[in-house]
Amino acid sequence: MREDYQTLVDEVTALLGTPATLEDRDFALIAFGAHGGGEDGGGDSDGGKGGEDGDGEGADPLLDPVRARSILRRRSTARVRSWFESFGITRAVGPVRIPPDPSAGVLRGRICVPVRHGGVLLGYIWLLDDGALELTDPRLADVRAAADRVGALLAAESRVDARLGRLLRTLLTAAGGHRAAAETGLAGELGEVAAGPLAVVAVLPWDGAGRERDARTGGGIPGALPGAVAACAVPGVGPHPPGEGLAVLVRLLSPGGPDPAGAAAERLLRTPYTGGGGGGGGGDGRDGGSGGTGRSGRVAGIGAPCAGLAGVPGAWRQALAAARAARAESRLGPVAHWDRIGPYRMLTALAAPPGASPGTPAGPPDAAVRALLEPGRRELARTVEVFLDHAGQAGRTAAALGVHRQTLYYRLSRVERLTGLDLGDGEDRLLLHMALKTVRLLES
């Protein structure tokens, strides 16, 4: 279906002799037409604010300095989106002319042709505008006809995405016969892809709650991410308070080949998706987050590759565990792989209480660390955790904490008195270390 979009965009580009670009209604790039056979054509994603997002290196002076970069990033910032939407394109049914704004980095104007199906806005066709094309030009009627064909394709793809998303959600969350039926249904929809190898990506939190975008479960993610074959929002797995997480099923090219799952995770963390109107964080991801989270405030986890759909539920649990580990431990994030999270594989695999989200450690903090979690003692907890992280080596620990060795020894002696544990005993060290890591998971 992606080839159909490219064919239509190429037809529009040839018809008008100017690069055309197709984006969905959230300004994610779908296809673009080349400019004069070069590689700079198309791409209005990020095309509105060169001063903020573009570096302009190697750019054609006749084009916006961010065109090439916008094609690579495949999505605009929220500020750019808001600027274009201020011209009424979300309500328009016909072409809209948008003037250039050199101060904002928009060196060429745009003509925007909304893409609708059944009256529902699904995307936009963008044309570079030098002012010579009148909005009454009969060729624009042909462009509108192409937009209608694109709208029909997007609507059909939306229905497929929704069906795949529902099946994937059932496969991940149901049990028994319902899970088996979902596996059979997905296998029928995906064909040979279902045999694998496959990977599952988990993104936490996913803020698309309440806006399934005309039932496009997962927000149309498969179309926007190369390699992604299905996506769905999964309730009750996000950080406290439990919210939604995103599950993405990714086709792997080969077990030892490139990492499309990692690329998908990185792109999702940069996605300025807010689940609402035009607000939210910028397309560069600078909208909050700290610690192990990405610049968008989200983290991603990737499960181990699986040979077929039967292994997908297990890979989802692994991906969730990796995402939770990334939130708990900054050095693991913002994208964590199951096979690289060390002891968190054991901690997150502990049985959760009934009704708890997958990967949630059971019970309150262990008694061994409760005294260290009281107000005013968190510094002691951090000190002994760093000490254990550094295998009990005092010199490295003191350097990591930026304290004198005598200060370190004093704090460790207080830890022993408060916990009743002997830091010279291997089992006591193991208990304290795992208990502190579990607290990180609980608090993340």
User: What is the per-residue pLDDT for 67?
Assistant: 53
Is 101 a residue whose pLDDT tops 80? no
Rounded to a whole number, what is the distance in angstroms from the first to the last CA of the chain?
40
* Percent of all residues in the chain with a pLDDT value above 70, rounded to a whole number: 72
The pLDDT value given to residue 276: 35
- pLDDT range class, residue 176, cuts 50, 70, 90: confident
Please state which of the ranges 19-33, 234-248, 364-378, 417-431 shows the lowest mean pLDDT. 234-248
Distance of alpha carbon 204 from the chain centroid: 9
**Mean of the pLDDT values across residues 38-61?**
40
Average pLDDT over residues 301-312: 93
pLDDT band at 442 (very low <50, low <70, confident <90, very high): confident
Residues 76 and 46 sit within 8 Å (Cβ to Cβ): yes
Is 96 or 110 the better-scoring residue by pLDDT?
A: 96
pLDDT at 55: 40
Tell me, what's the pLDDT at 401? 94
pLDDT tens string 323-362: 999 988 888 989 999 989 988 888 876 645 444 555 455 5
The token duo for 71 is 């094609």
Q: What is the H or E stretch that residue 149 is in? A: helix 138-173
Query: Residue 358: what pLDDT?
Result: 53
Phi, psi torsion values for 202, nearest 5 degrees: -115, 135
Query: Residue 432 pLDDT > 50, yes or no?
Result: yes
Determine the average pLDDT of the residues in 307-335: 91
Residue 180 in this model has a pLDDT that exceeds 80: yes
Task: Give me the DSSP letters along 293-351.
Answer: S-TTS-EEEEPPPBSSGGGHHHHHHHHHHHHHHHHH-GGG-SEEEGGG-TTHHHHHTSP
Top CATH class of 2-136 equals alpha beta
Q: Domain limits of the chain?
A: 2-136, 157-348, 367-443
CATH, domain 367-443, list 1.25.10.10, 1.10.10.2840, 3.30.1700.10, 1.20.58.340: 1.10.10.2840
Instruction: Kindly report which listed range (82-86, 199-203, 287-291, 347-351) carries the lowest average pLDDT score.
Output: 287-291
